[in-house]
Chains A and B, each alone.
Chain A
Amino acid sequence: MAALVLPATLLVLGLLVAPMAILFRISLDRYSPTELVQEALTGENYLRAIADPYYREVLGTTLGIALLCTLLALLIAFPAAWWLARLEGRRRSLAVILTLFPLLVGNVVRAAGWMALLGRDGAINAALRGLGLIREPLGLLYTPGAVVAGIVAVVAPYMILTLATVIEAIPRNLEEAAANLGASPAAAFRRVVLPMALPGIAAGCVLVFILCMNAYATPVLLGGPQFKMMAPAVFDQFVRGTNWPFGAALAFILLLVTLALTLAGSAALSRRTAPR
């Protein structure tokens, strides 16, 4: 029976672990214009990426956008997750489908939708003009704001579903008990519900933060040519440039920064949830 785990394991080892190991090895090589990758054992690609003001800015933008989008997604998703968690039967199924549907439709399709909504002649500009609020169309598309809206919309369903699972497990009569003991709804929420929902909040934020850090289609399509995040920068190194060692180093910087912040964040949250 135990052997049944082998085919899938070998596949993941061969197609994920081994390629990642090779990518890491190449990040320590040196670039050469003639043979592309020259074998070496150097950290200079990492140093160059960290020292270069351009890539520092790209990493800074990525971090800023990812943190902002994670926070916004949490705020937007919480009420929706609550609503979903307290539904039952057929209505609950429908709400889950409604949440899952945009998620499964894919990032490219949703970015296309935002382009139609935010463009110069898009729905939002047309509506504002129709209401007489503006004369000239606003430049909404190809701005950081468009990227934030796009990414938040992409990740919000993940947050809703993760939070709903946890909220569902909070017994409703705990809130009743808090209310009977004289707690206002706000106090009951803060003192009873929120602490119990914290593991879900942590799990949702970690998942969403990783997705935000690695967003590709949304920044490329909604951010315009001047706007750069890490995932598109990695892609550019391999397609538009030929500097594999440097591109590999960028990929690992993205991976490590995401991992470090994810671990730090979950550690901070789990300290808060630990019994005092």
Chain B
Amino acid sequence: MALQSLTGAVSPTTLPAGDGFGGAMAGWRLQRLAFGLAVGGAYALILAPVLAVMLISLFAQEIVSFPPDGFTLAWYGNAWDRREFARGFATSLQLALIAAAIGVPLGTAAALALDRSFRGRWQALGGALNTLLLGPLAVPGLVAGTALYIFYVRAEFWVDDDIKGTLPGLVAAHVLLTIPWTVRMVLASLAGLDRAPEEAAANLGARPFTVFRRVTLPMLRPGVVAASLFSFIQSFENLELTLLLVGPGRTTLPVAMLNYLEFRIDPTLAAVATVQILLVGALMLVTDRFVSLSRVV
């Protein structure tokens, strides 16, 4: 295994006796090379499709083929002119914003309660509630979407109005996506929280709500910002949960892209996908300025 070589922990002098010094060095270099190739290969595999999409969105010819005949930005205009993509983008944006605006406060409140209450004999209940709130992560999107689809169809019968294919119907489903991420991330930041400033504020006469607003919340900011970003992105790119809940004239961007891709891949679709890639990338970089992403995932 070449893995240890990276740590640099094994200096040549500590290598087992009997290994010629020169031979050990050569073997070491080989291990390091193999390790580098393995890491590079893994990242090539996960990044290649993303880079390929961005590249072909610039190709001049309409039928995707390599090498390109030339480069153009015309497909971006073409994509915007296609109603399904422009409206899909607007729907997804609206949906992700509303879902995050509802889900993040609810999830943060729940995380606070789980962290602060449910001590002692209530601990088991807290654990069960925590599992329940992470449930939307555990139930596969398509199965949950199927269940919601039937639920909506049945509920439409009672309320005598459309739910499936409406914005409220989609928002309700997507709030479900935002809760587990928020609970997880806010709980993680609460776990590392120093309680002394809150106690100090309380001792100095601050009321509980003031302590929360002026002390607790600012300390939780990294977790809440990260949760908002994740919630937004989870909602924006979701396909499986959404698939059965969209309706005529109200389709999200990923569903619109999927429907298009079942027939063909072309630079117009790639342009739409690139817009999504750039949006997600920009949001990640912004969030990383607030809170180092390597601390929250």
Contact = CB atoms under 8 A, between A and B. Distances in A.
A27 to B, nearest CB: 10
Interface stretch (A52-60, A103-111, A268-276): A103-111
A160 interface: yes
Interface range for A:
35 or more
B49 A102 contact: yes
A8 B6 contact: no
B225 interface: no
Interface residues of B, number: 99
B94 interface: no
Nearest to B172: A15
B183 A8 contact: yes
A151 to B, nearest CB: 11
B24 to A, nearest CB: 10
Given A126-B65, A234-B143, A5 B110 contact: yes
A244 B150 contact: yes
A40 to B, nearest CB: 16
B39 A83 contact: yes
Contacts of A78: 3
Contact of A184 (B16, B50, B116, B236): B16
A104 B50 CA distance: 11
Contacts of A95: 294
Interface string A169-185: 00011011001101111
A67 interface: no
Interface string A116-132: 11010111011100000
A3 interface: yes
B142 A214 contact: yes
A8 B65 CA distance: 49
Contacts of B285: 97
A255 interface: yes
A77 interface: yes
Given A5-B129, A117-B49, A188 B4 contact: yes
A140 to B, nearest CB: 13
B158 interface: no
5 contacts: A12-B133, A116-B52, A175-B7, A185-B4, A234-B142
Interface of B: 1-7, 9-10, 14-16, 31, 35, 38-39, 41-43, 45-53, 55-56, 63-67, 106-107, 109-110, 112-114, 116-118, 122, 129, 132-133, 135-136, 138-144, 146-151, 154, 172-173, 175-176, 179, 183, 233, 236-240, 243-244, 254, 257-258, 261-262, 265, 269-270, 273, 276-277, 280-281, 284-285, 288, 292-294, 297
